[in-house]
Chain A
Amino acid sequence: MRISTITLYQSGISKINSLQAEQSRLQQQIASEKRILTPSDDPLAASRVLELSHAQSINSMYLSNRKIANTSLTGLDISLGSITELLQTAQVTLVGAAGTLTADQKNTYAIQLTAQLETLIGLANTQDSAGNYMYAGYQNRTKPFTATATGATYNGDSNQQLLQVDGQRQLAVNAPGDSVFQAGGNDVFSAFSDVITILNNPAATSAAVQAGVATAISSIKTATNTVAAVWSSVGTRLNELDALNDVGSSRELQYAQTISELQDLDYAQALSDLTQKQTVLEAAQKSFVRITGLSLFDFIR
């Protein structure tokens, strides 16, 4: 077959061009560490990577929500611990006050209990690191409890602040004050306040005092149980967060692995391909020079 001289040059050049293009592609892949440079390289894998990185970003969003939830719940956990301790101390105080008391003793107990009530109100008005009140429901910028002559009034609401901590899980991260301190009509502040009023009343009969102390003991016991229930639910939620974190991090690992499998470059393969392409390119260049260097005109003298 005749081959025109132009064809000889063109086919040589186009082969060299395509080899160089393949080399530059490999070079780009190696530099970017990615197998897929544009979606068209592997459209299905590219859209899968997009989906997975979307899932990955949502997963990490939930992780950061869980961190926030963890901070809030840990604060709540510590605060509820202090409250429980205080209520137990108050019970011990009240048990001490259960017998027949002198006026001095009544006075001393009244002072002790008044101090405990003030501490309790202080604890019920605990703020988190952002300055939000922990026991105020949604009204977390308003001081939830103000002391009154008969205990304390609640200024918050009964709403639980929920956070999305996982795809299908919203977790309450606060404890509205009314459900902690005033649950089921048993107001712990009034319990304190009532017994303090009786102890401070010199006219109160010994029987009335004893009855008042007994009522207070029972009321504070109930309140302690309520707080304990809230405390344990907070503990359960903290445990759930840990569990969700475990699931989340194994999910993260799985996403990262799949994304890497889909788009990352097999270095060994790429480097060996590069070497191979170089060899072929060299051969193509050498043979091109050889072939085009042959001309009959060289032999015409």
Chain B
Amino acid sequence: MATSILSIGKSALAAAQVGISVTGHNIANASTPGYSRQEIVQRAAEAQDYGFGFLGQGTQVSQVKRIFNEFTVKQLNNAQTSSSATNAYGAQMRQIDNMLADSSAGLSPSLQAFFSSVQSLSSNPGDAATRQSVISAAQSLVNRFQSLGNRLDELRESVNTELTATTKLVTAYASQIAQLNDVISKTLGANPNNVPNDLMDQRDLLVSEMNKLVKTEVYAQDDGSYNVFVGNGVPLVIGSKSFGLTTVNSSTDASRLEVAYVSNTTKSLGDSSLPGGKIGGLLQFRSGSLDSIQNQLGQIATVFAQTFNTQHQLGFDPAGAAGGAFFNVPTPDVYGDAANSVTASLSVSITTATAITSSDYRVKYDGTNYNITRVSDGTVQSFASLPQTVDGLTISGTMSSGDSFLVQPTRNGATSLSLAITDISKIAASDATGGNGNNRNALLLAALQNTGTLNNSTTSYESAFGQLVSAVGIKTNELRVIGAAEEALVAQTAATQQSESGVNLDEEATNLLRYQQAYQAAGKVMQIAGTLFETLLTLGH
């Protein structure tokens, strides 16, 4: 009996020690990211039948359990992935918003200064200094267009860089998850009760980090491993095997990197198949905002250059020669699909600047029809032959069945605008009558500022820019509001998740006291068992 009491005491002592050690582990990891608090599962040891009844044999620790709720973690991940996407989108938009915020850096001051100089020209058409100021103001307007366009190009480049870095990170996470899958499934295979809690925490942390980059879905398997899918069901981890994401050049647009899936082959994934996370946010920013902003700015530059040229060419310079082009008008960019036949070619020119839109176009030949799609609203126009004129653009070329082209009429409009004349005597301020004071064409040029030119002669340069600014403002504002709401949801879900799995130090302090007391009590039990044994030994004396 006494030995049994001693071993009962010993089992209690051991259990209390495990309790103290788990508590210590919790305290040590109170601020470890992804850590779930652990507790011991203790149960009474199997009792022995002594004839008069069952006698307890002390206690035993059956398991060290992590407190983990799959459901709240899933909720947290869902909230987190949209919040990350909105944050990434918002961060990019804020840069454009800030760029346009500075009233001295926007387009308006340069545009106004340029037209002021043209007004001055109308009041003093023969004056050399006045003419020089028109050229200078035109140059600074061109510079402003270019610098705004370059800034947007930089953002486009930074999207490419970030996509590359982010896909690398996702691939690295996937391979780490696969390794952990391997270890975890082997451990559980050896003994299903020996749950490797800390490894599982690490794996869940990797999933949540990956989920910040791209929407991640996890399917737990019977052997304890995770199958991980990103975006709309792209498998990245299957058991102990992992695949990756990478970036590839778009087949239609060399300036654009697309996210691709790497398994046996590398296959580009469409923007829409990767929602959520930083990647989703960046892709959404690029296709939803950056493209249209850059196109709209380019449209203003292109239409401005073209309409100003048209009027300038109606005038005459001081020598009586007809006016030439004042600006070099940007030309549309055409990208052939990488899979096109070798003879495929397409050329696009702007015929009526006032009719062009800020949209991109897709030209596809199906063997019978040339289908021209306006990307912004998906409108398709079909023609049996080329050349054709669509939205102010004349499209001509040779295509075989299956060939396709992407046309960006205004994407580089702002960056490729330049000044065509630098000689002040080439400014055509007068009409055919001539004369030093003849300002007729200067008046007409100045009047362009308030004339509807863009979008079928309905919108002036200035108000088109105003619309652009307000569209950027509205989008940035919207993202800020949505972002704040999503962040609040993340914080709230995280608090819920933490309230279950997080470590509370006061609680651990209580546990510490509890196990300390249990340890002391167990010691007392052993001491008493010892005293009992002593009593037996002294009997013989």
Contact = CB atoms under 8 A, between A and B. Distances in A.
A47 B498 contact: no
Most B Cβ at <10 Å: residue of A37, A64, A140 = A140
Contacts of B503: 4-6
Given A11-B491, A164-B443, A296-B510, A5 B502 contact: yes
B112 A57 contact: yes
A167 B112 contact: no
B438 A159 contact: yes
B100 interface: yes
Given A132-B437, A138-B430, A46 B513 contact: no
A163 B122 contact: yes
Contact of B473 (A1, A40, A137, A300): A40
A138 B125 CA distance: 10
Nearest to A44: B470
Contacts of B101: 37-39
B435 A39 contact: no
Nearest to A157: B435
Given A51-B463, A58-B449, A296-B510, A4 B436 contact: no
Contact of B513 (A64, A68, A300): A300
Contacts of B89: none
B504 interface: yes
* Residue from B106, B447, B473, B512 with most neighbouring chain A CB atoms (10 Å): B473
Q: How large is the interface on A (under 10, 10 to 19, 20 to 34, 35 or more residues)?
A: 35 or more
A3 interface: yes
B485 to A, nearest CB: 14
Interface in A112-151: 130, 132, 136-142
A3 B496 CA distance: 9
A47 B476 CA distance: 14
A132 B94 CA distance: 53
Contacts of A269: none
Interface of B: 30-31, 37, 93-94, 97-98, 100-101, 103, 106, 108, 112, 115-116, 119-120, 122-124, 126-127, 430, 433-440, 443, 446-447, 449-450, 462-463, 465-467, 469-477, 480, 491, 494-495, 498-507, 509-510, 512-513
Contacts of A57: 112, 116
Contacts of B494: 7, 10
Given A139-B436, A162-B443, A54 B462 contact: yes
Interface in A145-199: 157, 159, 161-164, 167, 170, 173-174
30 contacts: A1-B499, A2-B502, A2-B507, A4-B498, A5-B30, A5-B506, A6-B498, A39-B97, A39-B469, A40-B93, A40-B97, A40-B474, A43-B474, A50-B466, A58-B450, A132-B126, A132-B436, A136-B437, A138-B437, A139-B436, A141-B437, A159-B433, A159-B438, A161-B437, A163-B123, A164-B122, A164-B443, A164-B447, A296-B509, A297-B509
Contacts of B433: 138, 157, 159
B473 A38 contact: yes
A78 interface: no
A263 to B, nearest CB: 10
A222 interface: no
A58 B463 CA distance: 13
B108 A130 contact: no
Contact of B436 (A14, A138, A167, A173): A138
Contacts of A5: 30-31, 502-506
B509 to A, nearest CB: 4
Contacts of B103: 53
A74 interface: no
B231 to A, nearest CB: 29
A136 to B, nearest CB: 7
Contact of A40 (B436, B437, B472): B472
Nearest to B510: A296
A41 interface: yes
A58 B462 CA distance: 11
Contact of B435 (A1, A44, A140): A140
Given A7-B499, A54-B112, A164-B443, A174 B437 contact: yes
Contacts of B495: 3, 7, 11
Nearest to B472: A39
Nearest to B463: A51
A295 interface: yes
A294 to B, nearest CB: 8
